[in-house]
Amino acid sequence: MDSSKYKMWLQYEICTVEQVNVQYQSLLRNVVIKGNDPIIFSAKDELQRAVKGMLDHELSWTENVQEANFVIGNINEVADFLKEEQRQLLTDLTEEGYIVQTSNQKTYIVGNTDKGVLYGVHHFIRLMQINSDLSQLQIVEQPKNQFRMINQWDNLDGTVERGYSGQSIFYQNGKIVKDKKRIRDYARYLSSVGINAISINNVNVWEEETYFITNKYLAEIKAIADIFSAYAIRLYLSINFASPMAIDGLSTADPLNKEVKQWWKEKVAEIYEYIPDFGGFVVKADSEHRPGPFTYNRDHADGANMLAEALEPYDGKVVWRCFVYNCLQDWRDRATDRARAAYDHFKPLDGRFHENVLLQIKNGPMDFQVREPVSPLLGAMPQTNQLVEFQVAQEYTGQQIDLCYLIPQWKQVLDFDTHIKGTGSTISEIVAGNIHAYKYSGIAAVSNIGDDENWTGHTLAQANLYGYGRLIWDPSLSSQEIAEEWISQTFGNQKEVVEKIGSMLLSSWTIYENYTAPLGVGWMVTPGIHYGPNIDGYEYSRWGTYHFADREGIGVDRTIETGTGYTDQYEEPNRSIYNILSECPDELLLFFHHVPYKYTLKNGETVIQHIYNTHFKGYEQVEDLMDSWNSLESLMDNDRFKNVQDRFRRQKINAKEWRDQINSYFYRKSGIADQYNRTIY
């Protein structure tokens, strides 16, 4: 196994700057860590790994706080050795908050709880990795978001739905893996960026996975839960809503049926006997052929609340996904609009969900496209807890073959002002619980890892997993700051490496958008596999397209007056901005409006010329990415260099296919030539 590939951003390479090495060894000459919790042991182990790797130094441990020059522990363990102002700083933080401070020639890492201690240790290690000056630290930190979750879409047979990095690290050949070392390392990586919750099986729960909540599997799942728990991460399971029928042969799964309710209460009690800190259930119901309460003429609140009642005595949560729509709708009917579905289904139910239910809402109204508007359901339910859902896995954004750094996209989502309670009602503030009085809220995302040696298939795709964790901990971080952190920890602090890879990452989303689906229209992708161009591709049937291109124009009319009325789901001024053609941002034009090919964009280009220009440009930009990467060969280890070089070769082929097929399609559809007379195949 190549350790550089495997260790992602926790490389812990030897520090070659002598004065930095000397400073760090002096700071860490006599260390005390207080506490006996597994989370404290994880923090101790990680610090030892980091110091051994970066300084080639074995830590000297002491039990005496007075003798130590480096003190680690939670507030209850070390309060007597802190100044009053330090204790006050911690009082003002959440349970996951911590301080990393220099005082009286000692360094303190103190958390309100052991979780805070672990996060503080990771913060200190991160500063070491980027060669920061650690002589005068005054860090006070806590996460912006309460829930910071990863969803694994892993199946028991070892496959990963929408997985692009090999097989599952949890399951192989219909069994839970026996060797869980890789799971433990994954827990280390997640905890280092502040993830605190994980679901470990696919939201599409198939036959055998239904039994994960039975004693057939619970002992082995407990072993996985214990691993994550030691890194301050609570384990959740995706469930089959029809489990009472599938497992014990009940005649119904009606959420209002007394026998069904009792079945779930007994099942939950059994789970908590095995896993006392079990997080709860993730549920996909009544969508894409999955069972749910609709079968019994019940609604989503009925279904979620039945599970919530069973989990409530144990502080368990129900994460109920809002990806609900009729996947067999006739797309030829322009009054039918998949984008409306989540809001139409859930908005009328506001106030009916129990307080331990969280609605998990995709960041856009469709399905993780390269460009789509923010879902209007986010923030629209003031009495219902919400999570926004991102996708770290690049299902529609290059599948970890094409480079697409997604942090800039997610930042745009988090910065979007809904105006739901006036100016400043951003998604970031909503999911942080600062706009509505949510008891629980936060952010979840679909994972992008597998058993590939480098975890993510494309080495540079590791930046999305790292960046997701860092961003949801602190949304004020810039895309560039996050990128530079990741590069320095992963490849070292050489200026040329940091600058060139940083530039590549920061431009990659725009480049991918340039050669794929233009102006927010989305899709145009091969059905089923979701990779490569298929301009008329529609996922579930032969019915129509997503883009409504004809000889005269392109785009979906979602206006109030003549279209599907989707724009009416937004608050003002967003409603008018999207609804009025002249006000609509160019990058979302075709999502909201059907326009002629010669419609002029705000930059002076016609729509058709924009399509031609961006698709030619996107291909050329991929060539530039390749050149930039190749220039780093002498500064890079061979294995990781070759991995990324191969991905760029594949991306170039993909970009050419998109360029040629999109341009040819719209030239033939419109009959309008490229004004620069470039070759269109």
Mapped onto helix, strand or coil, the DSSP state of residue 98 is strand
* 198 membership: H or E segment, kind and range: strand 197-199
Burial of 186 (0-12, 13-18, 19+ CB in 10 A): buried
Single out the residue of 548, 579, 546, 577 nearest to residue 562, CA to CA.
579
Is the bond preceding residue 573 a cis peptide, omega within 30 degrees? Answer: yes
Asked if 34 and 77 touch (Cβ cutoff 8 Å), the reply is yes
* 462 membership: H or E segment, kind and range: helix 462-473
312 is catalytic: no
Partners of residue 54 on adjacent β-strands: none
Contacts of 235 (CB under 8 A, 6+ apart): 197, 198, 199, 200, 221, 224, 225, 228, 229, 275, 277, 278, 279
Contacts of 175 (CB under 8 A, 6+ apart): 156
- Amino acid 353 reads F
Rg (CA), the chain: 26
Q: Which of 96, 209, 395, 557 is catalytic?
A: 395
Sheet holding 31-33, edge to edge: 31-33, 70-74, 106-111, 98-103, 138-141
* 31 membership: H or E segment, kind and range: strand 31-33
389 is catalytic: no
Mapped onto helix, strand or coil, the DSSP state of residue 140 is strand
277 is catalytic: no
Q: Which of 157, 226, 288, 536 is catalytic?
A: 288
Asked if 158 and 193 touch (Cβ cutoff 8 Å), the reply is no
Single out the residue of 30, 108, 105, 124 nearest to residue 75, CA to CA.
108
Q: Which of 277, 355, 367, 571 is catalytic?
A: 367
Beta strands at 317-321 and 280-283: parallel, antiparallel or unpaired: parallel
**Alpha-helical segments (H) within 209-359:** 218-229, 243-248, 258-274, 300-311, 341-346
Contacts of 478 (CB under 8 A, 6+ apart): 411
Structure tokens at 338: 């998949």
- Amino acid 187 reads A
User: Which residues are part of the catalytic machinery?
Assistant: 288, 367, 395
